Chain A
Amino acid sequence: MATHATLLALLTGVAVSLTAAEPKKAPLDLSKLPPAASGPVDFAKDIQPLFAAKCYSCHGAEKQKGGLRLDIKIAALEGGDNGKVFVPGKSAESKLVHAIAGIGEIGIMPPKEKPLTSAEIGKVRAWIDAGAIWPDDGKLAVKKSDHWAYQPVKRPATPSTSPLITNHSPPHSIDAFVHSRLAREKLQPSAEASRPTLIRRLSLDLLGLPPKPEEVRAFVSDTSPNAYEKLVDRLLASPHFGERWARHWLDLARYADSDGYEKDRARPFAYTYRDWVIEAINSDLPFDQFSLQQLAGDLLPNATQAQKVATGFHRQTLTNTEGGTDQEEFRCKAVVDRVSTTATVWLGVTMGCAECHSHKYDPFTQREFYSLFAFFNNANEKAIPAPNAEEKVAYAQAKQAHAAEATKHKAALDAYATTEAPTKLAAWLQTASLAAVPWRSLTPDKLAAKHGTTLKADKEAVITASGALPAKETYTVEAKLPLPRLTGFRLEAIDDPDPKKAVGRAKDGNFVLTKFAVKLFVPGQFDGKELEIARVTADHSQNKFPVEAALKGEDSVGWAVAPQQQKSHVAVFELKSPLDVPEGARLVFTLDQQYKETYLLGQFRLAATDASGPLKPDFTPDTVAAALAAKPEQRTAKQSEALAKYFREQVDEPGRKLHAALDDHAKKAPAAPATTAAVLAEEPGVRKTFTHVRGNFLDKGTEVRAATPAVLHPLKPRAAQPDRLDLAQWLFAPENPLTARVSVNHVWKNLFGRGLVATVDDFGKQGEKPTHPELLDWLASEFPRLGWSRKALIKLIVTSATYKQSSVNRPELQERDPNNLLLARQSRLRLEAETVRDAYLAASGLLNPKIGGPSIRPPLPADIAALGYANSVKWTESKGDEKNRRGLYIFFQRTVPYPMLMTFDAPDSNTTCARRERSNTPLQALTLLNDPVFFECAQQLGARMAEVPTADAAERIRHGFERALARPPSAEELSRLLKLYEAQLKLAQANADGAAKIAGAAKPAPETGEKATLVALGRVMLNLDEFFTRD
């Protein structure tokens, strides 16, 4: 057998492997360091020129690789991403010296140029050893960048070249910018799109829903000069506008309805945040306030429920509850995500890489990343009650109604107590004897617990368990029997008066009594005799844990009381036959509790009786027994009252009923709405913030304070310690060059399919340049002027001729500008995933337009839902027309995302998504052709066509076509559809059973052939590219 020492020797590999994940640090060979130079060294003469020649190109004003800057004293002393690079007096330990000597882990510096000579290195060493005297240059490490996006927004003058096409006077500013650019390219803009196209485009862009045929007709025939503007205003005022634009925002917020990792638990109230977004957008909460509340609503003075719910924006991060997970690791990951997401959404900069090292291309150091991290580091995750207005009103009403009803019950009881009860009580007291209340508490004189629990009895004979909490336990209670005859026992499981505790000691307050046994010891007999229990009853047993189980002694079951752990309970055990007991007999009770872990009794009492059965599991308080035992004339007022109460509540039938009615009613008290919201709540000063070396949360670098990146405008905190609210206000400072640009660009992208800066999430050096920089700046200056009104900005854009252009491609444009960067036409855009669904449901008339509330689960094949971890994903189908609600309400289960959404490029909601893909795949075709949801839409469209009062197939086809596409078919299209009609009709008539199925009819009938044909036609119309494209 190996000793510990040999075991250790044997396992030398173990220690290596445990640290294998960390980078190997080669031991420094300090003997290779050139010695420090002798003689005085002057910074300005000897050192600064060296730094300038060898270091500044990477560690100077332009670049700060590794976060290090050597051209300014204050920055150089601070060091780089991994801390200080030199400490005065200690040149042999200096990372700077190691680097220039090429002995450290980063290798030799400068990496590509001629290395420093030994003499030069010696000078640097001598300078450090002499105290690194660096005459104060008085310079702060001010960063500058000449990258366009970091320059202030300057409102450009609107170009004077007259727009090429306009219906405005004076010309629309957007058109002035776009057309002057087109003029330079010698390109013509496109003509205005047709009215049907315009209303369909606007409805889809503003509401995410296609227009109804009657709306199309009304708009087409509206001859007023402001017909278009009226339409825009109507759509902006529609509550569906909030749904459409909320979905855009939810992409950025990485909104989902579940935790993400492993069990991927549902977040049933995630929708409270989603509904906040819809409401905020519908009420046109100005974008600065909209943002501020989401980033720091909890920090606003007297924050309202809604302002707190808004902070749910940053509660959409993923959660891992797998066993053994280091929660600090995932908390840090969530904070990192909050920083990156904030930077992407409001600044259009990619900060993610700065988690591990300073940004390679943009002027953000790792320290600056963690300075932003500090803003979020003390924001704790909390849930607050968040009933919506309806729920609040409903609860108040229910409470009121309940209270009124309770008053009635009380009145009836009071009336009974004062009128009929006294007479009956008097009669009862005449006959009442000890036999009426037969229980005698057993005062234990020995208590024991097998596995260390402390048991103590008080003078009421109540036994309390405390101290150690073993997984399993056996209590033994020994007591004298105070009766000469014995018929049964009573066990009271007593609810602890401490409201935090319950009857049992398990986490959920429950207990499981797996075996109840009693032995009788008679004086003079050596062995005790196990008493045979014939019958056991309890006032309450948990489902599948009946009190009878306590006689069996199986570990997997016993008597338990959930969900009533917060109430006392009683079980009575009746002996097979009455037993006469000689004086001095003793009872030993064994209470076994072997179920799982810690399901132990907390407080209990034992009693015995000699009454004849059947015994009832009720409580007869000892106070009552005492009062009854006392002579009537000696009873105290308290005792008389106790007897009266006991009689009314326990003995007298009508009284018991009245009490039971009152109790039952109390149980029916309306529950407060369970709706909660996940929010951020600041706990200042709880955590300090350090950089994480290479992004590893366990490897703490230098401490940092909350601060904003130096390349941007200064932060103006309200107090010494800046907080999230300061950060949010900093984002909307007038001198911020990014937020307004980035925000108008998001809106522009949603209306043109592409941002003026195509990389909407990256305005940095790696991103694309704006196609129309002046227009971008003009809009960025206009947005605050419009009071950050989203609706006003959208109205401004959609009323431009640029937006209203036809999207028809032109050969010269296809050649010169295939991506439509110059905006000589509108773009055709495949609808987003949710909008595809919404368009189907709307065109077929199936759409349930209800807004807000819990997320829905449309039908999903069982095997798809079962792919989550160990059946932990419960996909309970929504019933009735709930399943026909808009796509944004579909429950987003991160590990089992609804397949249709993913097939159409909905974001996976794991990180912020500023730009969706628009793919074009055969799986999309299969979904639209065959998914039961979409086929049902086709059936409905077919049914609408079948309803048209006509015998003319062409008329029916025109009706369906217009419903689907908001325009009549061309002659060619109509003739192709008629051809299909005839061919399908032939097939349908030849296959009556199939036709009935297609038509959704119970059985074949003469008209099912045509109905099925119309369904098939509806299916074709709804599968046309045009149907799920915004033209």
Chain B
Amino acid sequence: MKRTIFRNQLLPWLLLAPQLAITFIFFLWPAAQAVWQSFLREDAFGINSTFVWFENYRRLWGSAEYLNSMKVTLIFAVSVTVLSMGVALLMAVAVDRMLRSTRIYTTLLVWPYAVAPAVAGILWWFIFNPTVGIMPYVLGQMGIRWNHISNPDQAMTLVVIASAWKQISYNFLFFVAGLQAIPASLREAAAIDGAGPIKRFFTITFPLLSPTTFFLLVVNIVYSMFETFAVIDSTTEGGPAQATNIMVYKVYFDGFIGQNMGSSGAQSVILMLIVIALTVIQFRYVEKKVEY
């Protein structure tokens, strides 16, 4: 670490100020507001608010809707993570086996990451649109009736696909880099040691990829829990019948549509705690535990 000694006491603070200001105004202040809000209860007209301690939290635990949202979030996050990481790994392994035009293929595969979440949502919404979409038509030919507007499982499938699709590029890049960091001689040694391609993958390649995989696991959970808001908002808006109402969307919906600031605040504090927990896990283990 390089150390600089400042003669002027004011200068270091001045240099730090912009960063500190941004952190305070855009992160710490809103977070504190949320915490404060979560202890308040507003009346029906939003004129008076009373301090109610943990009443908002207590109500959440008793709310079937909130518990359902947690369950939906869990299913959604696991599905998106598994789907996007699985597909990305498959593609990365395929690219790793390619000898030529790897670069072009890699570049093409990165494009979806540049698409804004809302646009991605709309894109998939059109593809799966029960009236004009191509997928319902194709599925209809195969005897499957697609209507995510009324079918909760299909709605969930749609938002999972749309969210996972966007994240595949990101995972793919990391997996390709991870695979290329594994010396070819290890796989050759395993081939001579009598391991077939599939056995080789599961006993050599995959264990050696574990640092990458673990890193992506945390990143993908965070992504699917927090950054998929736009996808949900542009496709299902949490419906039908709460089927895709993930926690982040519910914070927005209860707060800005339902105008229940207290509950919304409590929910966002819970989300904040989840993020903190994930970040701790990330920093604790990603660089130490998984190392071989």
Judge: A and B partners, yes or no.
no
